[in-house]
Amino acid sequence: MSETITAPATQQDDKFSAERISWLHRWHDKLFSFRLTRPEGFRFTPGQFARLGHALPDGGHVWRAYSMVSAPWDDYLEFYSIVVPGGQFTSRLAQQGVGDSVLLERKATGFFTADRLPDGEQLWLLATGTGLAPYLSILLQEDVWQRFEHIVLVHCVREVGELAYREEIAALREHPLHGDAYAHKLQYLPVVTREQVPGCLHERIPALLASGELAAAAGLVIDPEVSRFMICGNPRMVKDTYAQLQQMGCRLARLAAPGQVVLENGW
């Protein structure tokens, strides 16, 4: 999601708090995860995002939206970030460390949640880059594992070094929340577009859908009657993937008209 700059704050200060970085992990030279202290009373639904900010010298603030990686019950808030070249927020954030402060708006927002989709046999979680973040939180919801028989997490990146959270994804199958009854449901399909990597697919997600290679890799047949999709990532991927799914008979889920697809731009 893009960075936004606001005018100097006056009476808006009660809408955010200063939180401390309690943990930081670098996956790649431009990718890192971090945790913030969680203020009392902060609530969210997996898939929602929070706005994080820094104060500017002129008294204004620069903000960026981040989906939560952590579970709703964790006592911290975890986020996954890319460094935007020249970005006023991410360039500064990348230079911070444990103990430094980040502003957090007190209210989470967003509608990229699994409950917007009707029940089905298959749940496809399609992501590029840091668009992976909301799915890691969504997959910590027990009801998601109960509602779908097959859950396919697809993470597309340019280089294999950008495949973050692989150990954490593998551990989801053994999470005590899910137990043996659900472990078989999750498939993880990594996609690397600029390298040929054993065990990884090698085309953009829309092309893999069009060719049938993605469905074949999961051992499933995509059918609007039973397949549900969440799409999160760079705007071009989101647009092209949804266009391809429309050709396959899927439509956007709306409050007044249930569909098979929900989507969100992930940068």
Sheet bearing 261-265, strands edge to edge = 186-192, 150-157, 122-128, 227-233, 261-265
**Do the domains 4-105 and 114-265 sit in the same CATH topology, yes or no?**
no
Please, which pLDDT band fits residue 47 given cuts at 50, 70 and 90?
A: very high
Q: Can you give the residue ranges of every domain in the chain?
A: 4-105, 114-265
Taking 60 as the threshold, does the pLDDT of residue 10 lie above it? Answer: no
Q: Which CATH architecture has domain 114-265?
A: 3-Layer(aba) Sandwich (3.40)
What are 21-32's pLDDT values in tens digits? 999 999 999 999
Confidence (pLDDT) at 1? 47
Residue 108 pLDDT: 97
Tokens 């609007």: give the residue. Answer: 224
Candidates 185, 176, 180; CA nearest to 151 is 185
pLDDT at 92 over 70: yes
- Three-state DSSP class for 206? helix
pLDDT tens digits along 99-145: 999 999 999 999 999 999 999 999 999 999 999 999 999 999 999 99
**Residue 37 Cα distances to 21, 99, 185, 251, 265, angstroms:** 7, 10, 33, 39, 26
**pTM of the predicted model as reported, rounded to 2 decimal places:** 0.93
Task: Fill in the amino acid letter for 229.
Answer: F
Backbone torsions φ then ψ of 238, nearest 5 degrees: -60, -45
Residue 23 has a CB neighbour count (10 Å cut-off) of: 11
| pLDDT the model gives residue 2 | 43
Give the residue from 141, 144, 138 showing the smallest Cα distance to 119.
144
- Amino acid occupying residue 143: D
Q: Kindly report, residue by residue over 189-214, the tens digit of the pLDDT.
A: 999 999 999 999 999 999 999 999 99
Task: Calculate mean pLDDT across residues 172-198.
Answer: 87
| Arithmetic mean of pLDDT over the chain | 92
Q: Which CATH class is domain 4-105?
A: mainly beta
